[in-house]
Amino acid sequence: MAVVLYEDSEHKCVAFTDLVEGEGVQANQFAIVHQGHGMLLDPGGNLVYKQLFAQISDYFAPSNMQYVFASHADPDIISCLNGLLLMTDAKVLIAQEWERFLPHFCQKGISAGRLVSIPAQGLNISLQGLELKVLPAHYLHTVGNFHIYDPISKILFSGDVGASFVDNDVAATTVTNVSEHVNNHGVIEFHQRYMTSNKACKLWVQMIRSLDVEWIVPQHGSSYKGKETVEAFLGWFENLQCGIDLL
């Protein structure tokens, strides 16, 4: 069942946490809806595509899908691209480093003119006049990696940063104790292995602290809600030794 993270008369953020079944890694998909127009974040692959497409129509008409955002180009992020391009008129936002790789998920020619490359410094995109921030998160974990900050809900959609490995129902919940969470749900092991270096973590934390973030919502597992929990997570992440620090 979809989880509504934020809702007011013209704005909604929705998480889909339970669509992956079987062998695939648990993954969350998201929709931001503003004045009836939508954007999908990290929609995933064929494992979830049919159900995701059916469920988003409870929140906005697929013909009003303006953007599909891919934090990077992994299979659990954007391998359903062919179907989305066929069924909607959405533009696809992805790092310039990955733009030329996406056509490999698609039938020949179908992605032509539909891909928008995000420059290294990020950008603001307008969803019905609402400016959403596309924030650089390079090397967390891929070269050319971005996150989305929504200034209305104050949610940071943090891609793989903050990811944990839990059952679908737990993914819909929020973390109560950050140190317990990072120790027990694969968070330490995942970040040590997949994140590139402490320098990247530190720069990202510095940038996130300059924003008014109420809720960090990753693409795998549970989320970090409330200023105190957000800060506890940032404090852990800025001191993490990972990737080439440990090589």
Cβ nearer to Fe ion, comparing 59 with 98: 98
Residue 1 beta carbon to Fe ion: minimum distance, rounded to whole angstroms: 25
Measured torsion, CA atoms of residues 149, 236, 161, 229, in degrees rounded to the nearest 10: -50
Q: Closer to Fe ion by CB, 34 or 42: give it.
A: 42
Using CB under 5 A, which of 18, 42, 74, 99 touches Fe ion? Answer: 74
Binding part of the chain for Fe ion, among 47-55, 69-77, 104-112, 166-174 by CB under 5 A, reads 69-77
Nearest distance in Å: CB 73, Fe ion: 8
> Which residue is nearest to Fe ion, using beta carbons?
74
| Beta carbon of residue 34, minimum distance to Fe ion (angstroms, whole number) | 27
- Going edge to edge, which strands form the sheet with 123-127? 123-127, 130-136, 146-150, 155-157, 215-217, 224-225
Q: Annotate 151-173 with b (16+ C-beta within 10 A) or e (fewer).
A: eebebbbbbbbbbbebebeebbe
Residue 220 CB, nearest approach to Fe ion (Å): 9
Q: Do 215 and 225 contact (CB within 8 A), yes or no?
A: yes
Query: In a 3-state reduction of DSSP, which class is residue 137?
Result: coil
Q: How far is the CB of 219 from Fe ion (least distance, A)?
A: 8
Q: Select from 34-42, 71-79, 99-107, 145-153 the region that touches Fe ion (CB under 5 A).
A: 71-79
Task: Verify binding: residue 42, Fe ion, rule CB under 5 A.
Answer: no
- Nearest residue to 59 (alpha-carbon basis) of 87, 86, 89, 32: 32
Residues within window 148-167 making contact with Fe ion, judged by CB under 5 A:
none
C-beta of 102: minimal distance to Fe ion in Å? 14
CA dihedral 74, 180, 193, 241 (to 10 degrees): 130
# of chain residues touching Fe ion (CB under 5 A): 1
Taking CB under 5 A as the binding criterion, the range among 17-25, 73-81, 110-118, 120-128 that sits at the site for Fe ion is: 73-81
12/220 with CB nearer Fe ion: 220
Strand partners, 31: 14, 40
Contact 216, 222 (CB under 8 A): no
Residue 4 or residue 143: which is nearer to Fe ion going by CB? 143
Quote the Cα angle for 167-132-172, to 5°.
15
Q: Please identify, using beta-carbon distances, which residue of 74 and 150 lies nearer to Fe ion.
A: 74
Instruction: Select 2 or 137, whichever has its Cβ closest to Fe ion.
Output: 137
Residues written for the chain: 247
Toward Fe ion, which CB reaches closer, 134 or 232? 134
Binding site for Fe ion (CB under 5 A): 74
